[in-house]
Amino acid sequence: MCLNNCYIKQKNHIIVFNKKEELKNHLSTLSKNNTIGFIPTMGSLHEGHLSLINRSNSDCDISICSIFINPTQFNDKADYLNYPKDTKNDLNLLKQVECDIIYMPEITDIYTKNQTIKKYNLSGLDLFLEGKYRPDHFNGMVSVVEKLFQIIEPDYAYFGEKDLQQLYIIKELVKDKNINTTIIGCPTIRERNGLAKSSRNKLLSKDDLGYCSIIYQQLILCKESFEDTPFTELKKNIEEKLTKEDRIKIEYLEFVDIKTFKPQQKFNIKTKYALCIAVNISGVRLIDNIIL
């Protein structure tokens, strides 16, 4: 953090920008000694997002949060249209955690008319899991993150480990494009029953929300035994447990090498693993993982 001409936070005061040029002009007036932390979101904020802003506040002089539901990372139009929105509550929460600046652009401020999304070299990290089941999702996500980095030029950017594959892909983007931003991964924040915090949790019924505790329970059991039990056996056990009531549909369930996100079939002491899962429950898609 800077020692001279530091940005002075004002309690419950937040500046909102809808135009990138206005935001860039404002940032140009601030001291170059200030460090900027950035948290990109799609809104409908929860404790997971707020934990990222709190981390930024502790690391940086200025914290900036963007709220933009990015259409190019949705391969399902209905999912895009149904994505939860609660701007008034988002602004109140951001004031409470003393975020300094919010960038809430319209689509036209991010993308030009008829703009095509370029293909990125993501070193194969996008070929599995989310990349396999959501075609072009990562190209769309990386496209908007790169644009946001160009606008804000943050020193640090914060991403939750719940979206573990996304976190590693953003690190690859920064490396490949020589972007001068340090990417910080932060622990997954969970509901009381262990379900990973997600904006989509708001779409679940109270009954389904409670039932979803079984997902984290199974991830924990795997963490305790993955070195001694064949991956195929562990996967079979989880699948049987999760689908017992026929309300959860498993999209993928994979042990992956955390460096490549390529699915693995057996344990190797030299490999760092994560167990990643995506399910649908009552039409709501949820993802989670545990680093093993």
pLDDT digits (tens, 9 = 90+) for 164-193: 999 999 999 999 999 999 999 999 999 999
137 is catalytic: no
Helices 137-152 and 164-176 pack at an angle, to 10 degrees, of 60
pLDDT of residue 109: 97
- The answer, as to whether pTM is greater than 0.85, is yes
What pLDDT is recorded for position 8? Answer: 56
What CA–CA distance (Å, rounded) separates 207 from 175?
43
- pLDDT score recorded for residue 245: 85
Domains in the chain: boundaries: 15-186, 199-291
pLDDT at 4: 47
CATH match for 199-291 among 3.40.50.720, 3.10.150.10, 3.30.1300.10, 1.10.10.10:
3.30.1300.10
Nearest to 2 by CA among 51, 37, 49: 37
φ/ψ (deg, to 5) at 184: -115, 120
Candidates 3.30.450.20, 3.40.50.620, 3.10.20.30, 3.30.470.20; correct CATH number of 15-186?
Answer: 3.40.50.620
Give per-residue burial for 105-122: e unless 16+ CB within 10 Å, then b: beeebbbeeeeeeeebeb
Burial of 77 (0-12, 13-18, 19+ CB in 10 A): exposed
Per-residue pLDDT of the chain (292 residues; tens, 9 = 90+): 554 455 656 666 799 999 999 999 999 999 989 999 999 999 999 999 999 999 999 999 999 999 999 999 998 888 899 899 999 999 999 999 999 999 999 999 999 988 888 889 999 999 999 999 998 899 999 999 999 999 999 999 999 999 999 999 999 999 999 999 999 999 999 999 999 999 999 999 999 999 999 999 999 999 999 999 999 999 999 999 999 988 999 999 999 999 999 999 999 999 999 999 999 999 999 999 999 9
What's the confidence (pLDDT) of residue 29? 95
Concatenating the DSSP letter of every residue in 35-83 gives: -EEEEEE-SS--HHHHHHHHHHHHH-SEEEEEE---GGG-S-HHHHHHS
Give me the half-sphere count of Cα atoms (radius 13 Å) on the Cβ side of residue 173. 26
Cα distances from 36 to residues 89, 155, 185, 243, in angstroms, run 24, 5, 16, 45
Output the pLDDT for position 275: 98
Which of 13, 26, 49, 137 is labelled catalytic? 49
